[in-house]
């Protein structure tokens, strides 16, 4: 569907990384982009360089989300915001579970609930959900993150059912490792994260994800790009462990 069919977009997690590049791309395509994140200072700079409309909002607040979209007609919704915590279910604390569920899943559900009915009424819209290979492959660590992204994976397919008969498209972008600040926030040390997760690796860049989103949005009206899995060439998911016990 040509970008000219759309007027507005809303992008969460917009202040840095993938979200900031998505805002820039959509603004260049002529859309009025509402950029949502908690960091007001970064959003102000993004607004200066892209012309986006900044909203410093905590997306874990359902009331704040309702206030945010009240009166807006959003044609393209990009659910990009996400958080992760180290450890599995055996080491997770209450905060790790509640925060990841609130940001990675609850906010996505509420934004879709608030925005999608308008798309149905106008018979026009595109929802883009950023999930992760953690939602479709099992590997050690970050168990709650895996669970929330698996829910986003299933939700993305279900939304196509909910919008059946309307010109509403849903795309799930399922990335492998992307060079963003997420690991730095996870470790609390950006330099350490750079050395451990990125130096020496050919990781994806935020621009790669934004390009995939552009492709999905500007595809012909009759075409819904439902799922795009993007990994670095040298990153391969899979493997099998089998514990042998003699007791």
Map out the domains of the chain with their CATH numbers: 3-187+201-230 (3.40.50.720)
The residue that leads in pLDDT, 241 or 62, is 62
For residue 152, is pLDDT > 80? yes
Catalytic residue status for 145: yes
For residue 184, is pLDDT > 70? no
SS3 letters for 202-237?
Answer: CCECHHHHHHHHHHHHCCCCCCCCCEEEECCCCCCC
Q: How many helices (H) and strands (E) does the chain have?
A: 9, 7
pLDDT of residue 1: 62
pLDDT of residue 199: 80
Which residue out of 137, 145, 164, 201 is catalytically annotated? 145
The residue that leads in pLDDT, 209 or 177, is 209
pLDDT band at 195 (very low <50, low <70, confident <90, very high): confident
Find the angle CA(155)-CA(225)-CA(80) to the nearest 5 degrees: 50
For residue 222, is pLDDT > 80? yes
pTM assigned to the model: 0.94
Q: How far apart are CA 136 and CA 95, in angstroms?
A: 24
Q: What is the mean pLDDT of residues 112-141?
A: 96
């Amino acid at each position: 569907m040509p970008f000219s069919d759309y007027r507005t977009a809303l992008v969460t997690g917009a202040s840095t990384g993938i979200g900031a590049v998505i805002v820039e791309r959509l603004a260049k395509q002529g859309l009025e982009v509402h950029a949502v994140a908690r960091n007001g200072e970064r959003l102000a700079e993004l607004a200066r360089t892209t012309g986006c409309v900044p909203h410093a909002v905590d997306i874990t607040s359902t009331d704040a989300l309702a206030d945010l979209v009240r009166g807006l007609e959003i044609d393209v919704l990009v659910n990009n915001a996400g958080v992760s915590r180290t450890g599995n279910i055996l080491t997770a604390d209450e905060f790790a579970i509640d925060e990841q569920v609130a940001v990675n899943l609850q906010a996505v559900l509420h934004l879709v609930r608030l925005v999608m009915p308008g798309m149905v009424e106008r018979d026009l819209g595109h929802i883009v959900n950023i999930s992760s290979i953690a939602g479709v492959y099992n590997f050690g660590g970050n168990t709650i993150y895996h669970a929330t992204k698996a829910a986003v994976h299933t939700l993305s397919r279900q939304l196509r059912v909910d919008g059946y008969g309307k010109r509403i498209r849903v795309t799930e972008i399922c990335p492998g490792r992307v060079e963003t600040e997420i690991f730095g926030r996870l470790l609390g040390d950006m330099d350490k994260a750079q050395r451990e997760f990125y130096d020496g690796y050919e990781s994806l860049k935020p621009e790669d994800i934004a390009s995939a989103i552009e492709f999905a949005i500007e595809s012909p009206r009759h075409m819904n790009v439902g799922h795009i899995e993007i990994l670095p060439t040298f990153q391969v998911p899979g493997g099998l462990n089998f514990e042998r016990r003699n007791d």
